[in-house]
């Protein structure tokens, strides 16, 4: 049977502090305890009493009348018999009344000692020295018998005093010189015996107190453990030094579907599935707690939590473990549910960012272990913002769900799909044998997402751009891979949407370069590093300047002149374009106001600027502040204002047009130009891209296209400006094709305001200057 005497190391001070041990003895039913102690010592006291009586009788035979001796002997036997009887009754726990009275042992001790000493003391005087010596020794030995009564110090004191008084009486009767020294000796002896008894009693009391505390604590713990075992809270177990079960609560047998016999004598770690954590804990022979392990039970797998302490024998030898176990299956299930919810994206049911990080970590480790390659595809939807803006968030959510479902379906077993947030997804390919494999999957994903998405009240289309990295070649940590995949994704987006781009090192250099440029650009405006140059626009017929195009320049203190094609996209991405664009509009209007009234200025405006709130008010305020006629301001936008589903930019252009400002469609022919764009009543000018114009020199089909564009533009009452005119041939060709205006190095490169203004002065004035 298991002995659960688990000892809590509670110091005795917690219960006995501040209390006299004797008081404790009395307070805790110690009267019973003393009665028991007196009963145990009673035979010895009786033996001592009878032996000493025999010595006394033997020394007095023939010197004292026989009847007296006989009577005394009988009396001593009777007294001892009475004492034994009384002690036994007092020790009986069922007895009550006078038998268990606290004063009774004192009275008994006093009576016993007094009766015993009467004869030796009465006949002492006048006896020969040898007899007196024997009588004295017998009485002294009797006095020492007080130690057998030490548990009741008053009884011991009464015992000692009764014999001492009798001894003094005997010495007194004898008379002579021995009286004084005898009394002194007796007093000292009595005092020593009494003090000794008191000391013994105190030590005993303390011992009893501690034992009592431990018994109480042991009982309480025993009760709790029984309840723990019976109430279903857990189960108890014990092993021997070889970790074989020597005890196990019956409850766990039911749970495991095995009988006690099938468990006892078997190795605990083997029974519990050779769990490494448990094995280590047992081998270490140190206490352990909360070791959770799965166990195959009759009702399916369950989880147990084990805690235990090693048991050591008195010699310090290891005897096994004793511990508790509890069924934590429900707790584990709840924790699993919580963990799953915490790692799952609510909207799509895919792994969320946190779990994706975990998947990437596992994929890296797997690739490193096998010496293979893993891939991370970082995907972002193209044109998703427009879906939200135009159709609302419910449609946006439906689109995200549909995309998630398609990605997961197409990825299949090749990759695990997760949502990083917003319209960003990740596909983790733990095993990617070749770059081609990742590319092939990426292209299938792009194709699948490009299919129109039905969102209940209609269908919409989004695209997918993907940046791809490989582990361990591109990076060995999650963060490194995510950053590089993001860089590759950025490249994919900037090269045109719906693409997949694999990361390479030059991209990272570019990205770092961008970060540095962005940092410097933030201070460029305040440090007056931005300038505007003006390029003349020429009327084909008169070959006179009719306007200027304002082109921004950044004079970087270390890099020199940074072209707008480099820094304008950065300004757009980091949100600086709003401030820069406003500054360009105001400056261009101010400069144009100083030119003759027939000269216009055109300002380039990017799609991002059109998406910002307040462009019309910025333009309106600039016109009012500079008193420039709206018709003298032209805003140039590129055809990307038509990209995406959002109608916002076109609405803004209509509002600007309503102010009286001219709108030009810039760089026509450089991208996927569609003649359908012309059929909008927004533009009053069409600017043919320079590359397109130069192509016309050697491509007859380009020439034909330009002719058609010019003809169509005329039907929409639009003027056509040809850009990038570098040679007279270009000029003549464009003139023949019917372009109304031209612009290019042939007529003037972009130049600072002063030089541009000088071009407007009459030729003779210019020469004079």
Contact set with ligand C2E (CB under 6 A): 535, 551-552, 563-565, 568, 584, 604-606, 636, 666-667, 690, 723-726, 744-745, 750
Closest contact distance (angstroms) between CB of 756 and ligand C2E is 13
Phi and psi at residue 266, to the nearest 5°: -100, 155
**Looking only at residues 193 through 222 of this chain, which bind Mg ion when binding is defined by CB under 5 A?**
none
Paired strand residues for 491: none
Judged by beta carbon distances under 5 to 8 A according to partner kind, the member of ligand C2E, Mg ion, none in contact with residue 606 is ligand C2E
Q: How far is CA 129 from the centre of its chain?
A: 95
Closest contact distance (angstroms) between CB of 608 and ligand C2E is 8
- Choose between 228 and 747: whose C-beta lies nearer to ligand C2E: 747
- Choose between 652 and 725: whose C-beta lies nearer to ligand C2E: 725
Judged by beta carbon distances under 5 to 8 A according to partner kind, the member of ligand C2E, Mg ion, none in contact with residue 756 is none
- Choose between 209 and 744: whose C-beta lies nearer to ligand C2E: 744
Closest contact distance (angstroms) between CB of 580 and ligand C2E is 7
Closest contact distance (angstroms) between CB of 704 and ligand C2E is 23
- Choose between 355 and 602: whose C-beta lies nearer to ligand C2E: 602
Closest contact distance (angstroms) between CB of 729 and ligand C2E is 13
Judged by beta carbon distances under 5 to 8 A according to partner kind, the member of ligand C2E, Mg ion, none in contact with residue 552 is ligand C2E
Q: Are strands 600-604 and 545-556 parallel, antiparallel or unpaired?
A: parallel
Q: Does the footprint of Mg ion cover residue 639 (CB under 5 A)?
A: no
Q: Are strands 318-327 and 300-312 parallel, antiparallel or unpaired?
A: antiparallel
Q: Of 763, 768, 710, 716, whose CA–CA distance to 739 is shortest?
A: 710
Closest contact distance (angstroms) between CB of 733 and Mg ion is 18
- Choose between 213 and 572: whose C-beta lies nearer to Mg ion: 572
- Choose between 449 and 656: whose C-beta lies nearer to ligand C2E: 656
Q: Does the footprint of Mg ion cover residue 380 (CB under 5 A)?
A: no
Closest contact distance (angstroms) between CB of 732 and Mg ion is 21
* Residue 435 burial (CB count, 10 A): 14
- Choose between 418 and 536: whose C-beta lies nearer to ligand C2E: 536
- Choose between 320 and 724: whose C-beta lies nearer to ligand C2E: 724
- Choose between 282 and 551: whose C-beta lies nearer to ligand C2E: 551
CB burial of residue 167 (10 Å; 0-12, 13-18, 19+): buried
Closest contact distance (angstroms) between CB of 754 and ligand C2E is 18
Judged by beta carbon distances under 5 to 8 A according to partner kind, the member of ligand C2E, Mg ion, none in contact with residue 750 is ligand C2E
- The strand order across the sheet containing 318-327 reads 245-248, 235-239, 318-327, 300-312, 288-297
- Choose between 111 and 564: whose C-beta lies nearer to ligand C2E: 564
User: What distance in Å separates the CA atoms of residue 756 and residue 533, rounded to the nearest whole number?
Assistant: 8
Judged by beta carbon distances under 5 to 8 A according to partner kind, the member of Mg ion, ligand C2E, none in contact with residue 685 is none
Query: Do 548 and 764 form a contact (C-beta atoms < 8 A)?
Result: no
User: What distance in Å separates the CA atoms of residue 295 and residue 271, rounded to the nearest whole number?
Assistant: 9
- Choose between 386 and 635: whose C-beta lies nearer to Mg ion: 635
Closest contact distance (angstroms) between CB of 637 and Mg ion is 9
**Looking only at residues 560 through 619 of this chain, which bind Mg ion when binding is defined by CB under 5 A?**
604
Q: Of 65, 48, 202, 193, whose CA–CA distance to 122 is shortest?
A: 65
In 257-304, which residue ranges form alpha helices assigned H by DSSP?
A: 260-263, 268-271, 276-284
Does residue 472 have a cis peptide bond before it, meaning omega lies within 30 degrees of 0?
Answer: yes
User: What distance in Å separates the CA atoms of residue 351 and residue 357, rounded to the nearest whole number?
Assistant: 10
Q: Which residues contact 223 (CB under 8 A, 6 or more apart)?
A: none
Paired strand residues for 548: 536, 601
Q: Does the footprint of Mg ion cover residue 108 (CB under 5 A)?
A: no
Phi and psi at residue 471, to the nearest 5°: -110, 145
Paired strand residues for 309: 322
Phi and psi at residue 387, to the nearest 5°: -60, -50
Closest contact distance (angstroms) between CB of 544 and ligand C2E is 18
Assign 3-class secondary structure to 595-652: CCCCCEEEEECCHHHHHCCCHHHHHHHHHHHHCCCHHHEEEEECHHHHCCCCCHHHHH
Judged by beta carbon distances under 5 to 8 A according to partner kind, the member of ligand C2E, Mg ion, none in contact with residue 345 is none
Instruction: List the structure tokens of 38.
Output: 């007196």
Judged by beta carbon distances under 5 to 8 A according to partner kind, the member of ligand C2E, Mg ion, none in contact with residue 724 is ligand C2E
Q: How far is CA 113 from the centre of its chain?
A: 79
Judged by beta carbon distances under 5 to 8 A according to partner kind, the member of Mg ion, ligand C2E, none in contact with residue 204 is none
Helices (H) and strands (E) in the chain, counts: 29, 22
**Looking only at residues 683 through 742 of this chain, which bind Mg ion when binding is defined by CB under 5 A?**
723
**Looking only at residues 339 through 378 of this chain, which bind Mg ion when binding is defined by CB under 5 A?**
none
Instruction: List the structure tokens of 166.
Output: 């009798």
Closest contact distance (angstroms) between CB of 453 and ligand C2E is 32
**Looking only at residues 69 through 88 of this chain, which bind Mg ion when binding is defined by CB under 5 A?**
none
Which residue do the tokens 């070649």 mark?
A: 473
Q: Does the footprint of Mg ion cover residue 636 (CB under 5 A)?
A: yes
Selected binder of Mg ion within 400, 666, 673, 709 (CB under 5 A): 666
User: What distance in Å separates the CA atoms of residue 415 and residue 433, rounded to the nearest whole number?
Assistant: 12
Q: How far is CA 259 from the centre of its chain?
A: 41
- Choose between 161 and 603: whose C-beta lies nearer to ligand C2E: 603
- Choose between 380 and 639: whose C-beta lies nearer to Mg ion: 639
Closest contact distance (angstroms) between CB of 634 and Mg ion is 10
**DSSP per-residue string spanning 500-529:** EEE--HHHHHHHHHHHHHHHHHHHHTTTT-
Judged by beta carbon distances under 5 to 8 A according to partner kind, the member of Mg ion, ligand C2E, none in contact with residue 564 is ligand C2E
Q: Of 649, 640, 664, whose CA–CA distance to 741 is shortest?
A: 664
Judged by beta carbon distances under 5 to 8 A according to partner kind, the member of Mg ion, ligand C2E, none in contact with residue 535 is ligand C2E
Instruction: List the structure tokens of 457.
Output: 């009240």
CB burial of residue 166 (10 Å; 0-12, 13-18, 19+): buried
- Choose between 238 and 604: whose C-beta lies nearer to Mg ion: 604
Closest contact distance (angstroms) between CB of 638 and ligand C2E is 7
Judged by beta carbon distances under 5 to 8 A according to partner kind, the member of Mg ion, ligand C2E, none in contact with residue 634 is none
Phi and psi at residue 327, to the nearest 5°: -85, 115
SS3 739: coil
Stretch that binds Mg ion, among 115-123, 276-284, 317-325, 663-671 (CB under 5 A): 663-671
- Choose between 335 and 691: whose C-beta lies nearer to Mg ion: 691
Q: Does the footprint of Mg ion cover residue 667 (CB under 5 A)?
A: yes
Judged by beta carbon distances under 5 to 8 A according to partner kind, the member of ligand C2E, Mg ion, none in contact with residue 565 is ligand C2E
Q: Which spans of this chain sit near Mg ion (rule: CB under 5 A)?
A: 604, 636, 666-667, 723
């Amino acid at each position: 049977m298991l002995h659960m005497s688990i000892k809590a190391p509670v110091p005795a001070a917690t219960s006995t502090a501040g209390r006299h041990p004797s008081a404790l003895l009395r307070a805790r039913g110690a009267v019973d305890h003393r009665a028991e102690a007196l009963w145990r010592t009673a035979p010895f006291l009786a033996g001592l009493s009878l032996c000493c009586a025999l010595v006394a009788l033997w020394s007095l035979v023939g010197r004292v009348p026989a009847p007296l001796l006989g009577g005394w002997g009988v009396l001593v036997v009777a007294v001892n018999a009475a004492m034994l009887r009384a002690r036994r009754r007092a020790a009986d726990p069922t007895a009550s009344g006078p038998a268990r009275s606290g004063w009774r042992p004192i009275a008994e001790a006093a009576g016993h000692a007094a009766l015993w000493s009467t004869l030796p003391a009465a006949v002492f005087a006048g006896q020969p020295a040898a007899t007196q010596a024997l009588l004295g020794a017998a009485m002294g030995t009797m006095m020492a018998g007080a130690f057998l009564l030490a548990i009741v110090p008053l009884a011991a004191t009464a015992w000692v005093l009764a014999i001492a008084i009798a001894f003094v009486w005997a010495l007194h009767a004898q008379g002579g010189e021995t009286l004084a020294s005898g009394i002194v000796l007796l007093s000292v002896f009595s005092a020593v015996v009494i003090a000794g008894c008191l000391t013994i009693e105190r030590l005993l009391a303390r011992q009893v107190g501690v034992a009592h505390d431990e018994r109480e604590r042991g009982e309480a713990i025993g009760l709790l453990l029984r309840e723990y075992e019976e109430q279903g809270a857990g189960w108890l177990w014990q092993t021997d030094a070889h970790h074989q079960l020597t005890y196990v609560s019956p409850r766990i047998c039911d749970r495991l579907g095995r009988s006690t016999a099938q468990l006892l004598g078997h190795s605990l770690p083997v029974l519990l599935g050779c769990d490494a954590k448990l094995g280590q804990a047992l081998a270490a022979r140190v206490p352990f707690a909360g070791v959770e392990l799965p166990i195959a039970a009759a009702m399916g797998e369950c989880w147990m939590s084990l805690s235990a302490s090693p048991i050591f024998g008195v010699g310090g030898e290891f005897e096994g473990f004793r511990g508790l176990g509890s069924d934590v299956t429900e707790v584990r299930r709840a924790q699993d549910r919580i963990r799953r919810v915490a790692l799952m994206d609510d909207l799509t049911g895919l792994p969320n960012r946190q779990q994706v990080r975990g998947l990437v970590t596992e994929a890296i480790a797997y690739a490193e272990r096998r010496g293979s390659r893993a891939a991370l595809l970082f995907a972002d939807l193209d044109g998703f913002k427009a879906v939200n803006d135009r159709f609302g968030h419910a449609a946006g959510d439906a689109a995200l769900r549909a995309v998630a479902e398609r990605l997961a379906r197409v990825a299949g077993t090749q990759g695990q799909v997760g949502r990083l947030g917003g319209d960003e997804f990740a596909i983790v390919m733990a095993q990617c044998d070749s770059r081609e494999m990742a590319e092939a999957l990426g292209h299938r994903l792009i194709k699948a997402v490009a299919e129109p998405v039905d969102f209940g009240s209609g269908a919409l289309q989004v695209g997918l751009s993907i940046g791809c990295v490989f582990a361990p070649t591109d990076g060995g940590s999650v963060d490194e891979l995510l950053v590089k995949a993001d860089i590759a994704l950025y490249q994919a987006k900037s090269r045109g949407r719906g693409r997949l781009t694999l990361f390479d090192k030059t991209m990272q250099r570019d990205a770092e370069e961008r970060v540095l440029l962005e940092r410097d650009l933030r201070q460029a405006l305040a440090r007056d590093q931005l300038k505007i140059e003006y390029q003349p626009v020429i009327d084909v017929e008169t070959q006179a300047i009719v306007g200027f195009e304002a082109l921004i320049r950044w004079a970087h203190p270390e890099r020199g002149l940074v072209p707008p094609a480099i820094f304008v996209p950065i300004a757009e991405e980091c949100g600086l374009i709003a401030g820069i664009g406003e500054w360009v509009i105001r400056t261009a209007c101010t400069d144009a106001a100083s030119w003759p009234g027939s000269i216009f200025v055109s300002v380039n405006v990017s799609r991002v600027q059109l998406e910002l709130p307040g462009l019309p008010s910025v333009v309106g305020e600039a016109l009012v502040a500079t008193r420039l006629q709206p018709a003298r301001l032209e805003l140039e936008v590129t055809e990307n204002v038509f990209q995406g589903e959002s109608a916002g930019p076109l609405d803004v252009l209509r509002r600007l047009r309503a102010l009286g400002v001219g709108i030009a469609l810039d760089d026509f022919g450089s991208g996927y130009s569609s003649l359908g764009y012309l059929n909008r009543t927004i533009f009053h000018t069409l600017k043919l891209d320079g590359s397109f114009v130069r192509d016309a020199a050697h491509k007859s089909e380009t020439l034909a296209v330009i002719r058609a564009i010019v003809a169509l533009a005329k039907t929409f009452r639009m003027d056509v400006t040809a850009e990038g005119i570098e040679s007279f041939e270009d000029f003549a060709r464009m003139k023949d094709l019917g372009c109304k205006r031209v612009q290019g190095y042939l007529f003037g490169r972009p130049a600072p305001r002063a030089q541009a203004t000088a071009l407007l002065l009459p030729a003779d004035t210019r020469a004079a200057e």
